[in-house]
Structure 1
Amino acid sequence: MAECPSNTTDLLLMKNNLNSLGKKIFTRYTQLRYLDISSCNISAIDKSAFEKLTLLTELNLFDNPMKTFQGNIFAPLDDLQVLHISHDLLSTYPREAWSDVLNLTKVFTYGGPSNKSFAGIFSVPLLHMSVTYA
C-alpha cells in the first residue's frame, strides 16, 4: 500500500493477506471514498484503524475471519453510506454504536438468516436504510 498515492480515492485490496488492521494503516489515505478489504484474512481491526477516513462512503469487509469488534470502529466514518459485512460479524457490533453512523443507507450482509433480524437496530436512527441479506 505504500506505493499508492496519498490522494487515492478507491482502494481495492481484496484477497490480500492483511491479517489485522493497525491504527496507522490508512492514515495517509485521507481522500479514500471506497475501500474493499474483503477476503483479506482480517482477524482484528484496531478501534482507530479508520479514524482518518472521514470521506469514506463505501466499505467492504465481507469474508474475513473476524469474530467480534473491539469498540466502535465506524464512528469516524461520518460519510459512510454503504457497508458490506458478514451477518455474524454484524451481530457483534455494539448496538448503541450504530447511532454514530448517521449517513449509512445500505447494509449488505452475507451468511445469515433472512429474517431481517437487524431491522430494529436500523429502523429508528437510520430511517432511510435498507438491509439486504444474501
Structure 2
Amino acid sequence: MFTVQVFSIKMTTKKHLLLLLMSVLPVVTPKRDVYCETEVHYTYYPTSDIICRNINIQRNEAIDLKDHSQRTIVDKIQLISVTADVQSSTLQNFPAAQQLLIFDSTIKSFSLQSNITTLNVSNSIFPKITSDSLKGKDLLSVTFMSNYDLEFEKGAFKQLQALRELIIVNQTIPRIQRHLFTGLVNLRYLCLIASNIQEIDEDAFLDLSRLDRLYLDANPIKTFSTNLCALTHLDRLSLSNTNLKKLNFDVLGPVKSLSSVGLPRQLLKTINVTDLVTKIPDLRVVGIDFMELQCPDVISFMDELKKKEVRVMPIKIEDIWYHHRDIDKPSMC
C-alpha cells in the first residue's frame, strides 16, 4: 500500500507540473495549409489551375493540394466564393503561378507581393485599393469588374511601374482625380468603361505618357477638356455612350498619333466632318454604338466619313449592358 501511494503522489506531481507549464508557456499556432482542388490542362505540357471554392482562408494560411503527386506547373489560382485574408504567404506553395482570379468572394484584407503577372477581381467585396495592397513588381495586367463599393486611393497604383493593362469596369468612380494613376509610367491600355465617371480632372492622365488606348465609354461624362498633351502615343480614344453634347477638338489636336475615336450619337449633330478630319489628320476610324447604326443622322454622318476615307467601327456597348444591368441601356433612334 505504501508503494502504491508513493507512485500515485509522483504521478499527481508530474500532472500538476505539466498543467503549470501549459499555463505559463505561450500557445503557438502552427501555420496551416488550406487544401484546394486542381484542374489539369494539356497543351504543349501539362499545367494546372488551383481552384479554391467555398472555404475560409485566414492570415498565415497557405493554399495547397492534398495530393502532392498531382503537382504540375501551376498557371492560375482561382479563389471562388471564399472568405479570405490574401497575402503573399497565401500563394507561397505555388511560386510559379502567373494569374490570380478572385470571383464572388469576400476579401477581408489584401496585400500582394509575389510573382503574379495577372490579377482579376470581380463580383467581390474587396478592401480599399491602396499602394500598400498592390505591390506586385511583376504585375502586367489588373482588372476590377463589378465589385461592391470598391474604392481607389490616390496613388493606389504607384508601385506598379511594370503594369501594361488596367481595366476598371462597372465600378463607381465619380471623379478621376489627378494622382489616381500616378506611377503607371508603362501603362499601354486603360479601360474605364461604365464606372459612373462624371468628372475628369484636367491633369488626370499626365503620367500616362506610354498610353496607347483609352476607353471611357458608357459613363455620364458631360464635358471633356482633359489635358492630353502628355499622351504622345495615344492611338485610340473612345467616348461612346457618354453624355457629351459638345467636344472641343482642340483638346485632341495635340495627340498627333490619334487614329481612332469613339463618339456618342448626340454629338454627331454638332460635328463638322471636315473639321474633325482636319483636327485629327491621322483619323482612320470612328466608333459608334452598334445599336444606333441605322439611325438617319448616324447614316448621314457615316456617308460624310466615307467621303474622307474614314471607316465606321460598331461599338457593342450593349454587350456590357447585358452583363451589368445597372448600366443605363443604350439609346435608340
TM-score, normalised by the number of residues in structure 2: 0.36
Structure 1 or 2, whichever has the larger Rg, is: 2
Q: 56, 64, 68: which one pairs with 2:219?
A: 64
Contact 2:166 2:191 in 1 (8 A): yes
Structure whose residues are more often helix by fraction: 2
User: Residues 8 and 133 (structure 1 numbering): CA distance in 2 closer, same or farther, change over 3 Å?
Assistant: same
User: Residues 91 and 121 (structure 1 numbering): CA distance in 2 closer, same or farther, change over 3 Å?
Assistant: farther
Q: Tell me, yes or no, if structure 1 residue 119 matches structure 2 residue 273.
A: yes
What root-mean-square deviation, in Å, do the aligned CA atoms of Structure 1 and Structure 2 show?
Answer: 2.4
Structure 2: which 5+ runs fail to align?
A: 1-128, 135-156, 290-333
User: Residues 102 and 118 (structure 1 numbering): CA distance in 2 closer, same or farther, change over 3 Å?
Assistant: farther
Count of residues paired in the alignment: 133
TM-score, normalised by the number of residues in structure 1: 0.84
**Could you tell me how far 1:39 is from its partner in structure 2?**
0.6
Percentage of identical aligned residues: 23
**Could you tell me how far 1:76 is from its partner in structure 2?**
1.7
Contact 2:238 2:287 in 1 (8 A): no
**Could you tell me how far 1:96 is from its partner in structure 2?**
2.2
**Cα separation, 1, equivalents of 2:260 and 2:173:** 25
User: Residues 114 and 51 (structure 1 numbering): CA distance in 2 closer, same or farther, change over 3 Å?
Assistant: closer
Contact 1:72 1:93 in 2 (8 A): no
Contact 2:256 2:282 in 1 (8 A): no
**Structure with the larger RCO, 1 or 2 (CA within 8 Å, 6+ apart):** 1
Matching residue of 1:107: 261
**Cα separation, 1, equivalents of 2:211 and 2:272:** 23
Q: 15, 20, 23: which one pairs with 2:175?
A: 20
Structure whose residues are more often strand by fraction: 2
**Could you tell me how far 1:113 is from its partner in structure 2?**
6.7
Contact 2:216 2:239 in 1 (8 A): yes
Structure 1: which 5+ runs fail to align?
A: none
Q: Tell me, yes or no, if structure 1 residue 128 matches structure 2 residue 285.
A: no
